[in-house]
């Protein structure tokens, strides 16, 4: 695009000097060439002596369609000028559209149409490329089984250097988690799925289960998990799908960290413990990461045992009382208490009872004879 311009050599005794020369789009008074989408594609060649500028845009895109205007700024008061009405640039391209003609559990028959917004010569023919290979088909529409298709494109015959953008099934999706560090109970994490595909892919999220029946958890490229709980731990994956096919991602493990739950404690053998016997006190708690354990006897500072089990042998009466287990990990701790009851053995109790009974009987007999002697 070229523009020639004129301006007065001077005004009110001030010699005119051109300070800036650039091109704009629409009514924006800032050079469009400074925008990121035009980076490296725009050249503006100007000659102030000839008062002429030439704009060159390479690697044209349909988004470059716009009205382009030349603008220059001088040192004069109100000395900025824009060429009107500008130059209308329309960029067009071949388009490849896809529609599903028939879909069942076995296959999908796709109908593809190659079209352009350009006015093509009558009886134009086309060239088709399937999986990178030219095929023998010259019509504007083409039908194919999607199971045999990786990618496809088309061009107007005679203009093979300007093919339509390649369309293809999704490539293997990639998964990520934000944040990617440790995930703690009560926090939030967002799972993201992305896959290159044309047309763009639609995404469906699943959680791996032991059963074969899977229900979609969510749809979209992002899957937020808010106020996450331990039950949310597991392996997640997504499926990316467009009209040409479907691909599944690898699994992403979500490992939710949480403090120990209320420990469960048990006594073996259960019930009352006989003096001289042995007992095992066991503690367990659900936690992530796994909990470490310590056993304490009430009113003692030092642990009676480190680990989930406390074993007491040759039990004495003083071993009875309240014990508690402490389960701890990096997220917190939790305690549970149990009472250990120590009793004398049943055989010893029976002997002691018999001796006591005999002593009482003897005392009664002695007292009886003493009483009769006094009466006599």
pLDDT at 147: 67
> What is the percent of the chain where pLDDT is above 70?
86
Give me the mean pLDDT over the 259-276 stretch. 92
CA distances from 323 to 265, 334, 340 (A): 10, 14, 7
* Angstrom distance (rounded) from CA 273 to CA 316: 10
pLDDT at 347: 46
pLDDT at 191: 95
pLDDT at 368: 59
Is 116 within 8 Å of 93 (Cβ atoms)? yes
Cα atoms in the 13 Å half-sphere on the side-chain side of 151:
15
Strands 342-343 and 273-274 turn out to be: parallel
Q: How confident is the model at residue 375 (pLDDT cuts 50, 70, 90)?
A: low
pLDDT at 365: 58
| Domains in the chain with CATH codes | 2-89 (2.60.40), 94-168 (2.60.40.10), 174-257 (2.60.40.10), 264-343 (2.60.40.10)
More confident residue, 316 or 371: 316
Q: Judge whether residue 59 has pLDDT over 80.
A: yes
Preceding amide of 200 cis, omega within 30? no
Q: Which helix (H) or strand (E) holds 65?
A: none
Give me the mean pLDDT over the 222-235 stretch. 93
More confident residue, 332 or 244: 332
Q: Judge whether residue 205 has pLDDT over 90.
A: yes
Is 225 within 8 Å of 190 (Cβ atoms)? yes
Q: How confident is the model at residue 313 (pLDDT cuts 50, 70, 90)?
A: very high
CA terminus-to-terminus distance, the chain: 154
Among all chains, which residue has been given the structure tokens 């040192």? Answer: 75
* Angstrom distance (rounded) from CA 230 to CA 253: 13
- Compute the radius of gyration of the chain from its Cα atoms: 44
Strands 256-257 and 183-184 turn out to be: parallel
| Nearest alpha-carbon partner for 175 in 189, 186, 185 | 189
Q: How confident is the model at residue 100 (pLDDT cuts 50, 70, 90)?
A: low
Q: For all residues of the chain together, what is the average pLDDT?
A: 84
pLDDT at 351: 44
| Nearest alpha-carbon partner for 61 in 26, 95, 93, 39 | 93
Give me the mean pLDDT over the 53-68 stretch. 87
CA distances from 375 to 274, 362, 372 (A): 50, 20, 5
Q: Judge whether residue 131 has pLDDT over 70.
A: yes
Q: Judge whether residue 350 has pLDDT over 50.
A: no
* 41 contact partners, CB below 8 Å, separation of at least 6: 57, 58, 59
Give me the mean pLDDT over the 56-81 stretch. 86
- Region of poorest pLDDT, from 54-68, 151-165, 320-334, 356-370: 356-370
Q: How confident is the model at residue 107 (pLDDT cuts 50, 70, 90)?
A: low
CA distances from 119 to 65, 149, 207 (A): 17, 30, 50
Give me the mean pLDDT over the 332-344 stretch. 92
* Angstrom distance (rounded) from CA 42 to CA 58: 7
Helices and strands, counts by H and E, the chain: 1, 35
pLDDT at 86: 87
pLDDT at 352: 45
Q: How many CB atoms lie within 10 A of CB 192?
A: 18
pLDDT at 240: 95
Among all chains, which residue has been given the structure tokens 């349909």? Answer: 62
């Amino acid at each position: 695009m070229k523009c020639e311009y004129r301006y007065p050599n001077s005004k009110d005794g001030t010699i005119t000097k051109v300070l800036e020369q650039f091109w704009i789009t629409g009514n924006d008074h800032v050079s469009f060439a400074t925008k990121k989408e035009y980076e490296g594609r725009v050249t503006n060649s100007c000659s102030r002596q000839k008062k002429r500028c030439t704009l060159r845009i390479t690697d044209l895109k349909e988004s470059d369609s716009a009205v382009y205007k030349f603008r220059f700024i001088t040192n004069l008061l109100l000395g900025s000028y824009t060429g009107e009405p500008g130059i209308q640039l329309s960029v067009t391209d071949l388009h490849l559209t896809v529609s599903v003609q028939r879909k069942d559990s076995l296959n999908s028959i796709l109908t593809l149409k190659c079209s352009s917004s350009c006015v093509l010569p009558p009886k134009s023919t086309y060239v088709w490329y399937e999986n990178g290979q030219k095929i023998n088909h010259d019509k504007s529409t083409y039908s194919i089984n999607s199971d045999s298709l990786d990618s496809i494109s088309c061009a107007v015959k005679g203009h093979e250097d300007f093919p339509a953008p390649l369309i293809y099934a999704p490539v293997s999706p990639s998964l990520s988690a934000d944040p990617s560090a440790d995930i703690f109970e009560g926090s939030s994490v967002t799972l993201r799925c992305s896959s290159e595909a044309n047309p763009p892919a639609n995404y469906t999220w699943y959680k791996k289960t032991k059963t074969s029946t899977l229900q979609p958890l969510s749809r979209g490229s992002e899957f937020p998990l808010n106020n996450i709980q331990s039950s949310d731990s597991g392996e997640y994956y997504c499926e990316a799908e467009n009209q040409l096919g479907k691909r599944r991602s690898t699994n992403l493990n979500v490992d939710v960290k949480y403090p120990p739950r209320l420990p469960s404690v048990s006594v073996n053998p259960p019930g009352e413990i006989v003096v001289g016997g042995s007992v095992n006190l066991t503690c367990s708690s659900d936690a992530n990461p796994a909990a470490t354990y310590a056993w304490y006897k009430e009113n003692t500072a030092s642990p009676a045992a480190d680990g989930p089990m406390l074993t007491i042998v040759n039990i004495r009466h003083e071993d009875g009382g309240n014990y508690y287990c402490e389960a701890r990990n990096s997220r917190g701790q939790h305690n549970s208490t149990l009472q250990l009851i120590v009793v004398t053995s049943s055989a010893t109790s029976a002997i002691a009872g018999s001796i006591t009974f005999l002593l009482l009987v003897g005392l009664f007999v002695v007292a009886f004879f003493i009483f009769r002697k006094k009466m006599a």
